[in-house]
Structure formats: structure tokens, C-alpha cells
Amino acid sequence: MSSILFRLTKAFSGATALLLVAACAVGPDYQRPDLDVGSDYKQAMTTEAGNTANQGWVVAQPDDAALRGDWWALFNDPILDGLIAASNADNFDLAKAEAQYRQAQALLQSSRSGFFPTLGTNAGLTRSGSGGGSGDASAGGGTGAGGPSNVYTFSGGVSWELDLWGKVRRSVESSQAGAQASLADVATARLSIQSTLAQTYFRLRILDQEKRLLAQTLQAYERSLTITQNRYQAGMVAQADVAVSQTQLENTRVQSLALDWQRAQLEHALAVLTGQAPAAFSVATVASLDYNEQLTTVPVIPVGVPAQLLQRRPDVAAAERRVAQANASIGVAQAAWFPDLTLSAQGGFRSGQWAQWLSSPVSFWSLGPALALTVFDGGAREANVASMRAAYDAQVASYRQTVLTALREVEDYLVQRSVLDQEQNAQTRALTAARLSLQLTRNQYDAGLIDYLSVVQVETTALNTERAALSLVTDRLLASVQLIAALGGGWQSQPNF
């Protein structure tokens, strides 16, 4: 059996080789759509031209940490490192994206199978016979003139549809681009999860600092209330001062309690991002002054040129690969206008008796090409080609829009970082002035020069200024994370399959 198949396969292998040499791939060859992205970022040029003191970004260098996968290491926080490692391993949205990538790989493998012939075998037993006259059947109950007979067969076949017009090649090209887009989707999902986790984590840490600030403020207000009550009992102040002090204390306590549920919700969000149930997850509070200083030290972000986004943003890369996928699909649709040529061969053994089949079976074989062409289909092929061209145009528009959106995001976060740095300088001066004003006002109250309502107003202003400073730290941290994500994080474009 194997020798027959070998002879059949060898018989048309030379012919197929000659046909494949002459084969061509119909449809347009892919070229990446053109788009003018500029040579520099507008906000980067504005900052340099205006000599603005902006330390939020620098020109990217090949060895920058943010150009590698571990961009979060710029923030020098071991707890954040551990949380992102957990999200990379256990996040279910990321697991879904990776499963979809494996599915795309399987589709690519399925498309590549069209390059190879299909081999198959078949074994069967056929029992047949013909009936005689009615008299014969009634007399002896026989089975007919000829009687039943058995035919034992064992055969194998080879079938190969030649890729004369590049239908298979374009299909593989489309599937390959789709798999590459799916791999970029995995990177997009991973970067989005990492960015969301980092932003959530920093919000939680700033709440810890606010909690520390309010705890210190409550202690100060409790001491002020005690002092005011003592002065009221001594007849030195009016009862209104005691009421004002009590109101101030309770309002601040309410603000402190509100931070508890906000922190809990952020902690729950971190649990989900790391693939854990909220009940089994917690992040220890860190509210030391040293950690507060670490938070205020926002890292410098390396910024490249706009053209790098085309290679470093995974969503841009995915959009570009889908343009290539749509372009190849046009060739697949156009190939339907040309005839399909299939070479097939079949051979095997046949015998009427099982013992004879084992000893001296009768062999048979067949070999021949088949040419198939659809003559009329009511315009289905023409409509399919038009549909594929429209899908290509849609993907081109989507790609260009993705690039423009990426450029806008980088420009937005560049100017945000620049302005926030300036705000930080102004906020530092405001905070210094508020603390000095509070100290002077308390001294005046202790000397009996002003009433307690004046102290409350200054204390409220000072507390709001302290919290505004922490809020600004949050904005700067989040803008840094968002800028890194807008630049593509540490992703590098994947090699071809």
C-alpha cells in the first residue's frame, strides 16, 4: 500500500513543482499607510524654547529603564513591584487576551496547512447480491441467482489543491498579521492593567498620607478643644469658642472616616487587578514621613520622538497589523475569480475473500487533475472583493486615528507634567506661607489678641493647603504613569513569525 502511494505521489510531484514556479499571488502587496507624525513633540519643543524648568522628562536613551519591560521600577517601590508581578501572573483580563492570542496562533497554523497535500486512508467491507424470481424464493428461500458476495477494500489517497493564484499565501499572510495584532493586544492589555494598578496604588498611598495628616490635625484640634474648654471654665473666653472648636474637631473626624471607605475600595480594586478575592487581600498602611518624601520625588520620564510610537505603542502596532491583515484578505477574495486546480491520486487493494486479500489482493489506482471554476454566482465574488476593500479602508482609518490619539495622549501628558511641576513649586511656597500664618495666628490667640473663630479660619486654610499639596503629588504621580503608558511602557515590537 505504501509503495503504491509513493509511486502515485512521485508521479505528479514534478508537475506540481513546475506549476508552483509559475504561480503568483493576486491582490495588492502590503505597504504601511503613510502618516505625518512630525519630528518632535510640540510640548517638548515649547518647553525647550521657553526655557521652562521641566524635569519631568528627558530625551530617551537606549539603556533607559522605561524602554525595558520593568518601567515601574522607576518609582523604586518594592510593594508596587510585587503587585505588578502578581497582576502579570494572575490577572484574568490578561489571561483572556493571551488565550485569544493562542487562538490566533492556531488559525495561523490552520492557514499554513493549505500548503500541504491531504493524505487519507479507507478500509471497508461491502456485501452485495441480486435477487432471483419469486418462484425460486418461495421454493427454497434462496438468496438469488448469484448469491451474496463480499468485497474487501483498503485504499489510500492524496489530494492537493495547488496555490496557483496565492490564495493560500494571502490567507497565511492575513492570519500571520492577525496573530501579530493579537500578540500586540496582549501587550496592550498588560500595559493597561499595569498602568491602572500603579495609578490605583498611588491613590491608596496618598490616602495613607492624608490619613496621617488628619490624624495629626485631630490631635491638634483635640488639644485646642481642651484648652478652649479650660479657658471657658476660667471665664477667659465665651462658650461660642468652645462650640466652634467642637465643630471643627468633629468635621475633621468625619473627613478622616471618609478616607477609610475610599481606601478600602482602592484596596479591593488592587485585589481584582492581581487576580485575588478582596477578602483575601490587603495592603499594609505606610504613612511615614520618609515615604511621603519618596512619593513627592516623581521620576524623570525618558521621552523619544513621535516616530517611535509606531514601534513602541502596542495598540498602534496592533492597528497597523490589522491593516496588513485586511490587505491580505483582498487577495484571498480576488483569488476566487480564478480556477482551482486540484491534483489527486488514489490506490489500494480489493479482494472478494478475506484470505485471498491477505495472499494475492487485486490492486487498483487512479490519478488525475481537476479544474474547477465558478462561472456565475450572481455577483457574490465581486461583492466580496468590494467588501474586503472597504474593510481595508476602515482599518487604515482606524490605524491613522489610533496614531493621532497616541500622539495627543503624549502631548497631553507632557504639558500636564510641565504645568504640574510649576504648580508644585507654587504649592510649596503656599504651604510654607500657610504653616507660618497658622503659627502666628495661634500665638496671637494664646496672647488673647484674637478670638478662636479667627484661629479656625486659618487652621482650615492650612489643612486645605496641606491636602491640596498631597492631591498635587497624586496628580504628578498619575501623570507620570500615564505618560509612560502613552509612550508604550516597556513594550518592544515583536519579531515576525
Residue 229 lies in a domain: yes
Domain count, the chain: 1
Cα angle vertex 177, ends 493, 108, to 5°? 120
* Closest among 466, 481, 364, 360 to 413, alpha carbons compared: 481
Q: What is the pLDDT of residue 181?
A: 94
| End-to-end CA gap in the chain | 38
What percentage of the chain carries pLDDT values higher than 90?
Answer: 46
What is the C-alpha to C-alpha distance for residues 413 and 418, in angstroms, rounded to an integer?
8
The Cβ-side half-sphere exposure at 80, using a 13 Å CA radius, reads 24
Residue 372 lies in a domain: no
* pLDDT(254) > 90: yes
Q: What is the pLDDT of residue 452?
A: 81
Query: To the nearest 10°, the Cα dihedral for 420, 425, 431, 432?
Result: 170
What is the C-alpha to C-alpha distance for residues 482 and 324, in angstroms, rounded to an integer?
29
Residue 20 lies in a domain: no
What is the C-alpha to C-alpha distance for residues 441 and 457, in angstroms, rounded to an integer?
10
172's grid cell? 497565511
Residue 350 lies in a domain: no
Q: What is the pLDDT of residue 455?
A: 85
Q: Which of 38-42, 176-180, 226-230 has the highest mean pLDDT?
A: 176-180
Q: What is the pLDDT of residue 49?
A: 42
What is the C-alpha to C-alpha distance for residues 77 and 373, in angstroms, rounded to an integer?
66
CA 454 to chain centre: 55
Contacts 24+ apart (CB under 8 A), 272-278: 273/83, 273/87, 273/91, 273/193, 273/196, 273/197, 273/200, 274/83, 274/86, 274/87, 274/90, 274/91, 274/197, 275/86, 275/87, 275/89, 275/90, 275/91, 275/92, 276/86, 276/90
13's grid cell? 510531484
264's grid cell? 478600602
What sign has the CA pseudo-torsion 457, 463, 469, 474?
negative
Which of 84-98, 243-257, 343-357 is predicted with the least confidence, judged by mean pLDDT?
Answer: 343-357
How far CA 458 is from CA of 218, 227, 264, 431, in Å, comes to 15, 18, 31, 12
Q: What is the pLDDT of residue 66?
A: 46
For the full predicted model, state whether its pTM sits above 0.85: no
What is the C-alpha to C-alpha distance for residues 320 and 328, in angstroms, rounded to an integer?
13
What is the C-alpha to C-alpha distance for residues 471 and 464, in angstroms, rounded to an integer?
10
Residue 286 lies in a domain: yes
What is the C-alpha to C-alpha distance for residues 481 and 483, in angstroms, rounded to an integer?
5
* pLDDT(42) > 50: yes
> Phi, psi (5° rounding) for residue 365?
-155, 160
Cβ neighbours of residue 250 under 8 Å, at least 6 residues apart?
none
Q: Mean pLDDT across the stretch 454-480?
A: 91
What sign has the CA pseudo-torsion 309, 315, 317, 321?
negative
Average pLDDT, the chain: 83
Residue 375 lies in a domain: no
- Give the model confidence (pLDDT) of 98-134 as tens digits: 999 999 999 999 999 888 888 988 888 888 776 655 5
* Residue 250 belongs to domain spanning: 27-114+165-338+381-486
Q: Mean pLDDT across the stretch 428-432?
A: 91
Q: What is the pLDDT of residue 65?
A: 44
CATH number of the domain to which 316 belongs: 1.20.1600.10
Q: What is the pLDDT of residue 291?
A: 67
166 exposure class (CB count in 10 Å sphere: 0-12, 13-18, 19+) = buried
Residue 185 lies in a domain: yes
Residue 262 lies in a domain: yes
Q: What is the pLDDT of residue 150?
A: 79
Confidence category of residue 356, pLDDT binned at 50, 70, 90? low
* pLDDT(22) > 70: no
* pLDDT(51) > 90: no
